[in-house]
Chain A
Amino acid sequence: MATLTLTVNGTLSTHTVEPRTLLVHFLREHLNLTGTHIGCDTSQCGACVVHLNGVSVKACTVLAVQCDGATITTIEGLAQNGELHPLQASFRAEHALQCGFCTPGMIMAAADLLQQHPHPSDEAIRHGLQGNLCRCTGYEHIVRAVRSAAATLNPQAKPESL
């Protein structure tokens, strides 16, 4: 067993885990943060995307022990003071989800994308979300939602390409 101390959604805690515990299982089963989904479990679908020290990762392909000392943000940690994050609000407003299974990962990936490209072109949005699969929407509304959130987060920014 290994000891793990980390900050998840602003809360510092210490846990004992088997080294083989995957981050996604740790979040869902040890911390009961079930907003992070397990889709393909092979690092292709992106349903399990969370932020590890500020960048997006697929939690099915990171060991929990690798996160000792780290800061993690999951979909549950995105809303602040009861207010939806602009991406969460825009996904709702733009109908960017149907079944919702891919949505937490999609939003966490988009949040990382908008950190790197505050006002991305549609091409950059599609490129940035390459690691997230949605089987319902056909992606059009998702791209629209990310574009809309970018405008809310950075109203002054000019569209950029890759």
Chain B
Amino acid sequence: MIPRPFAYHAPTSVAEALRLLGAYGDEAKLLAGGHSLLPAMKLRLAAPSVLIDLNQIAALRGVTLHGSVAIGSMTTWAAIGQHAGLRQALPVLSATVQLIGDLQVRNRGTLGGALAHADPAADAPALTLALAATLHVHGLQGTRTIAAADFFTDMLTTALAPDEILTAIKFPPLGAGEGAAYLKLPHPASRYAVVGVAAYLKLDGPQVRVCRIAVTGAGTKAERQPQAEQALCGGPGDAESIAAASTLAGEGMDILGDLYASELYRRAMVKVYTKRALTAALAEARG
């Protein structure tokens, strides 16, 4: 399978990439790791006439740990997984890397690419929602930040404007009394999440002070679970309250069925994986 012909540009700065994006508008697509866009182009599901490759922009790569955890949008999953400091600051992210794709996908695929593509079964969107990440964006009109909660608007659709580039993702680091986990039921062939759940808990003594739960793979986009979150907040955060809150996960959410997993099965797995993710997050929060 071979994509339709296109013109190829490999800018070395964000400014140059933005200028190209401004010049070509809707004809252009940004290329990150390429493991979603290139397969779509080979299947001719996507046929941009201009490809702007972000791989030569060194400024978009790297991890910095100063108060918050800042990750350049073009940082590969492999680089994130191998970062020793990140394993201390945000262990849930390092652990999630091992669940993404395979060794070769992780060598090419990027955090920013996964978020901007917003595949409904991708792992990264759920994690950014649960961790309340902030997405930093550069456009021709200037820069802005978008909360993860406002970023995923629909299937494969985000709050990014056509002339904007996602440049960095910032996560608040986890401190004492905080814990997070991401667990998924992977499709046995594709490894995409049939259901994936990211959970974050902040304890105040024995009580749950903040709780965020996000589900991916089940609907058209990654979504927070307000009913289950509210059920757990202010409570004791024990096994019983986690089990009770988990039964509320997926409620009010449009859940999709397909040949591999029916709507009913996915709905059940949302609850199972919510319980497991919350249990793991609680264990981490309690140290």
A61 to B108 CA separation, bound complex (whole angstroms): 9
A130 contacts B by Cβ under 8 Å: yes
Binding site for B on A (CB under 8 A): 2, 18-22, 25, 41-44, 46, 49, 55-58, 61-63, 65-66, 68, 109, 112-113, 127-132, 162
Complex contact A109–B103 (CB within 8 A): yes
Complex contact A46–B8 (CB within 8 A): no
A36 smallest CB distance to B (angstroms):
13
Complex contact A18–B5 (CB within 8 A): yes
Complex contact B6–A20 (CB within 8 A): yes
B189 contacts A by Cβ under 8 Å: yes
**Closest partner residue, chain A, to B9 (CB atom):** A19
Interface size of B by CB at 8 A reads 29
- Secondary structure at the B interface, as helix, strand, loop or mixed, is loop
Complex contact A62–B103 (CB within 8 A): no
B51 smallest CB distance to A (angstroms):
7
Comparing B19-27, B33-41, B232-240, B254-262, the segment that makes contact with chain A is B33-41
18 sample A-B contacts, Cβ–Cβ < 8 Å, listed by A number: A19-B6, A19-B7, A19-B8, A20-B2, A20-B3, A22-B2, A22-B38, A43-B39, A44-B189, A55-B78, A55-B107, A61-B35, A61-B38, A63-B8, A109-B103, A130-B102, A131-B102, A162-B98
Given A62-B34, A113-B103, check contact A25 B2 (CB 8 Å): yes
Complex contact B8–A65 (CB within 8 A): yes
A25 to B6 CA separation, bound complex (whole angstroms): 17
B212 smallest CB distance to A (angstroms):
27
A136 to B100 CA separation, bound complex (whole angstroms): 26
- Pick the contact of A66: B53, B104, B191 (CB < 8 A): B53
**Closest partner residue, chain B, to A55 (CB atom):** B107
**Closest partner residue, chain B, to A42 (CB atom):** B39
Complex contact A41–B190 (CB within 8 A): no
A65 to B2 CA separation, bound complex (whole angstroms): 14
**Closest partner residue, chain A, to B34 (CB atom):** A61
Given A46-B102, A131-B103, check contact A61 B39 (CB 8 Å): yes
Complex contact A19–B103 (CB within 8 A): no
Complex contact B101–A131 (CB within 8 A): yes
B286 contacts A by Cβ under 8 Å: no
A86 to B5 CA separation, bound complex (whole angstroms): 41
B200 smallest CB distance to A (angstroms):
24
Closest 4 CB pairs of A and B: A131-B102, A19-B8, A130-B102, A20-B3
Complex contact B5–A56 (CB within 8 A): no
A132 to B101 CA separation, bound complex (whole angstroms): 11
A65 to B34 CA separation, bound complex (whole angstroms): 13
